Structure 1
Amino acid sequence: MTGNRAVAYKSPGHVEVIDIDYPTFELKDGPGVNPANVGRKVPHGVILRTVSTNICGSDQHMVRGRTTAPADLVLGHEITGEVVETGPDVEFIKVGDIVSVPFNISCGRCRNCKERKTGICLNVNPDRPGSAYGYVDMGGWVGGQAEYVLVPYADWNLLKFPDRAQALAKIMDLTMLSDIFPTGFHGAVSANVGVGSTVYVAGAGPVGLAAAASAHLLGAAAVIVGDLNEERLAQARSFGCETVDLRKGDPQDQIEQILGVPEVDCAVDAVGFEARGHGQAAGEERPATVLNSLMTITAAGGALGIPGLYVTGDPGGVDEAAKVGSLSIRLGLGWAKSLSFTTGQCPVMKYNRKLMMAILHDKVQIAKAVNAQAISLEDAPRGYAEFDAGKSVKYVLNPNGYVK
């Protein structure tokens, strides 16, 4: 038996590396574990030694105290690992395999999974459809910002890399397959981005940058990224995006300067419920700002992809409506323009294999696009603090020394 170290949420603004139990093939009681899941047997699971595990903007919502996450909840839903143990029901995944773990936990057996809707699996979270590692109200599956982690339904969930040496050589790109690359790609696909499209991406954090890179991969003619943070806008420009500085006001005028018209064909919301106002209201939290802005700047008949996170419970919401996820969006405008929009978790397994092949065959450099940097597990508190302060870096934790 070996030990296990992990990154845990302690209180608003505070994470800490703590000692936790080495995983077993049973879900045990602990912070955030749904009581109905306690004692759940996992003979279909594997134990991974973590190769890489990333800090995500979704984690930051919890760390800021904007959810009901309990103290000592182990964080981390972006996981890549090496299989070190397999449960008795695992048939195809073997010890020594290097694998990517979709952040959606899914059973592969329910109606939704069979329809490729793995973000809303019916069997892994007793409270509601959909689950994820290390996330509040998602069933209590222990997070992967740790040295070791349990993954259920391994034959179904895991994406095995075809060659170990190749995988480790490209690990900084491949680590993005667990969440942000498929999530950004899903946002672009949901917005109907295609050859010749003009695209606006709201938010130049890692998911927004991944959406912008995905739009390029899908053949967009022009990709425009909007943000309030100049460092993040510079990162978007580094791989060929146009940018809009939202400190100067709403994006229409700046879009018109770029395209000659104040509208785009497609738009992606990579911000979510902690959105800030534009222009003179740039310092104010206005959770409906992005959604309303996108409905204004998207051409009639267009589509919005919304991978940005919206929640049903936000203790820090700006008003009572926002605290339960009720926002004043201009649905009438969206209806009048015949806009369509897609929300919810990205079904990672719908995209991750094809995106893996794009990485392995050098069709995309996603780590470069999102400015990925590896740090030690013990350095995670610094990574969280710098990311929260707006640093344009995608922090990749390296708990077992695989990342060179």
Structure 2
Amino acid sequence: MSGNRAVAYQGPGVVKVIDTDYPDFELHDGPGVHPANVGRKIPHGVILRTVATNICGSDQHMVRGRTTAPEGLVLGHEITGEVVEAGPDVEFIKVGDIVSVPFNISCGRCRNCKEGKTGICLNVNPDRPGSAYGYVDMGGWVGGQAEYVLVPYADWNLLKFPDRDQALEKILDLTMLSDIFPTGFHGAVTAGVGVGSTVYIAGAGPVGLAAAVGAQLLGAAVVIVGDLNEDRLAQARSFGCETIDVGKGPVPDQLDQLLGVPEVDAAVDAVGFEARSEGHGAKAKEAPATVLNSLMEATAAGGAIGIPGLYVTGDPGAVDEAAKVGSLSINLGTGWAKSLSFTTGQCPVMKYNRQLMMAILHDRAHIAAAVNAKAISLDEAPQGYAEFDAGAATKYVLNPNGYIKE
């Protein structure tokens, strides 16, 4: 078979659908591919025909030009697909299986993988621990916003759905298992959310909304979501969350109005390094540490903060020289004085994806409705990126091969 189409980063603010090579069982040279990975053989991999692949806020950071991503990089780390070819070393995954792909690539063989730390695998990225499809500084594994994609270590990485027809019926929910649902859930888990918790989530984008659903699954008594975007706050209210507009005053004061106390048991940063200060429009200036500092103030002593929001070590568009290399003015003294705990880094998707799959299949979680999932064609990807960047309260799901029926 020959031919493939994919969404590629073309420079700040520009993505384009391009013609590209059909994948085979080898890593080839290309934009973002680490030289040490060129020529790497993948007999343990499979080739997927993409069923669904989502636009993520992390992709948007690259598209805005806020990372060192090279032009021509094929995007996409949220992948669900049908196996169409299997390498000679694949034993358990079969052609025809419908599978979810964790966004973090892991080998299943290194010390970290064996300890369940699949977000920081030691063997898939020569630059640093941890890897992902179609992402800057992640080893150069080709992204999945495409008609076809290669997935390595298939027996280890892939989550097979038990029933094809059921999977396709619930595909808008199940596609969220590749990243945002486990990532949001991880934020809630690492924040210590449990039965009766009060929870504040900064950011009403898809990951923040997924964290809210996760907090509800974990038994939170009250889930409060904060943002500057009223449409996204309305989306949070649609499934039972309280909301606050962070442009209308300090977070602790607004929490006090809702809860009678100016703090919560647990907090989640679902914003990351492009955070903005309180205020709207031109008044909402970028302040990359503002969310972290507000969460330390708003979290009760002895509490915890989960930080699934992305922070980077290279940001050419940062507000100052320190932030360009990931150094932020964090008020660690407040965190220390209150004995707060922090968890950062990639979510280890495999720790959660099967349990969350079962919650979806048995109608315990309706994540697609919560994040307002909308299927669009591959050719509509540039428009989807533009609308998402403008603040649309929508999770865009690309449907490159027509599996998703309207």
Other-structure match for 2:143: 143
Task: For 1:208, give the aligned amino acid.
Answer: G
Match of 2:382 in 1: 381
Question: What is the rounded CA distance, in whole Å, between the counterparts of 1:2 and 1:279 in structure 2?
Answer: 51
1:293 aligns with 2:294: yes
Q: How does 1:81-160 map to 2 (within 5 A)?
A: 81-160=81-160
Report the equivalent of 1:6: 6
Q: Which position in structure 2 is the counterpart of 1:390? A: 391
Residue in structure 1 matched with residue 315 of structure 2 by the alignment: 314
Task: Identify the residue that residue 264 of structure 1 maps to in structure 2.
Answer: 264
User: How far does residue 252 in structure 1 lie from its aligned partner after superposition?
Assistant: 1.2
Q: Tell me, in whole angstroms, the C-alpha distance in 2 between the residues paired with 1:139 and 1:250.
A: 41
Shift of 1:283: 1.7
AA partner of residue 335 (structure 1): W
**CA distance, structure 2, for counterparts of residue 309 and residue 238 of structure 1:** 26
% identical aligned pairs: 85
- Helix, strand or coil for the counterpart of 1:5? strand
On the 8 A contact 1:266/1:302 being kept in 2, the answer is: yes
CA shift, 1:34, in A, is: 0.3
Q: Deviations over 1:44-68 (max 9, x none)?
A: 0000000000000000000000001
1:349 matched residue in structure 2? 350
Q: Distance in 2 between matches of 1:329 and 1:71?
A: 32
Mapped to 2, the partners of 1:387 and 1:66 lie a distance apart of 16
How far does residue 251 in structure 1 lie from its aligned partner after superposition?
Answer: 1.0
Q: Contact 1:3–1:21 at 8 Å: present in 2 too? A: yes
TM-score by length of 2: 0.99
1:158-307 matched pairs, under 5 angstroms: 158-279=158-279, 282-307=283-308
Give the corresponding residue for 1:53. 53
Please state how far the C-alpha of 1:358 moved relative to its aligned partner. 0.3
Q: Judge conservation of contact 1:228–1:282 (CA < 8 Å) in 2.
A: no
Indicate the SS of the match to 1:27.
Answer: coil
Q: Which runs of structure 1 show a deviation greater than 4 angstroms over 4 or more consecutive aligned residues?
A: none
* Distance in 2, Cα, partners of 1:254 & 1:59: 32
- Bigger drift between 252-261 and 159-168 goes to 252-261
SS at match of 1:321: helix
Deviation at 1:282, TM superposition (A): 4.7
Separation of aligned partners in 2, 1:299 and 1:13 = 40
Partner-residue secondary structure (3-state), 2:321: coil
Shift of 1:143: 0.1
Q: What is the SS of the residue equivalent to 1:204? A: coil
Asked whether the equivalents of residues 8 and 17 of structure 1 are also in contact (C-alpha less than 8 Å), the reply is yes
| C-alpha RMSD over aligned residues | 0.7
Q: Does the 8 A contact of 1:199 with 1:223 survive in 2?
A: yes
- Whether contact under 8 Å (1:100, 1:161) holds in the other structure is yes
Helix, strand or coil at the partner of 2:404: coil
User: d(CA) in 2 for partners of 1:126 and 1:210?
Assistant: 31
Equivalents in 1 of 2:289, 2:174: separation in Å?
Answer: 33
Q: Hey, what does 2:330 align to over in structure 1?
A: 329
CA distance in 2 between counterparts of 1:261 and 1:2 reads 62
1:5 maps to a residue whose letter is R
Give the 3-state SS of the residue equivalent to 2:379 in structure 1. helix
| 8 Å contact kept, 1:203–1:269 | yes
